[in-house]
Amino acid sequence: MIEMVVHGITLDPVSQMPIVVLRGKDNEELMLPIWIGIFEADSIARELQKVEPPRPMTYELLKKVITEMGGRVEKVVINDLRDSTYYAEIYIQQGNNLLVLDSRPSDAINLALRFEAPIFVEEHVLEKSKVPKPEGEEEREDEEKRKLREWLENLRPEDFEKGLS
């Protein structure tokens, strides 16, 4: 497993769908963009900006319930990619019990941020997320990969806020 951090939230320039961008904690060249819903993106953006809602929203409520029941999110793991859909697990420690819950990555990331828990991605997920090179198109694919990497690397904090507030 590779530990990742939330690099930020941005919008896909084509579909205008939100993307949470994860970056390797110890290897900044590793990046994993995951397309997510607008409400989940807004919650991640609020938490990254440390904006407290006047009333508990869904993830604040979940944090309160888990905490009041004596639990803590220990980590989240993005553990699979099937049919262009990412899967995650939330690891909750409650006393001597370890609960492992199936989750969407956006929900797992939201809770990880609120509990300051690490986010991991299975290596095979990073491998599966790479687009295979069609034969004879390696140069074009390399150029497209370079452009995407430059776009992701050059995101500024103000880019993460566009359209999410």
Domains and CATH numbers, the chain: 2-130 (3.10.690.10)
Q: Which residue in 26, 27, 6, 1 sits closest to 18, CA to CA?
A: 6
* Residue 130, both tokens: 């790479």
Per-residue pLDDT at 104? 96
Please give the Cα distance from 96 to 144 (Å, whole number): 48
Which of 38-42, 99-103, 114-118 has the weakest average pLDDT?
38-42
Average pLDDT over residues 41-64: 91
Residue 89 confidence (pLDDT) above 80: yes
CB atoms < 10 A from the CB of 81, how many?
20
Residue 111 confidence (pLDDT) above 80: yes
Residue 90 confidence (pLDDT) above 50: yes
The pLDDT-based confidence of 163 (bands split at 50, 70, 90) is: very low
Residue 156 confidence (pLDDT) above 80: no
Please give the Cα distance from 87 to 81 (Å, whole number): 6
Please give the Cα distance from 23 to 90 (Å, whole number): 19
The pLDDT-based confidence of 54 (bands split at 50, 70, 90) is: confident
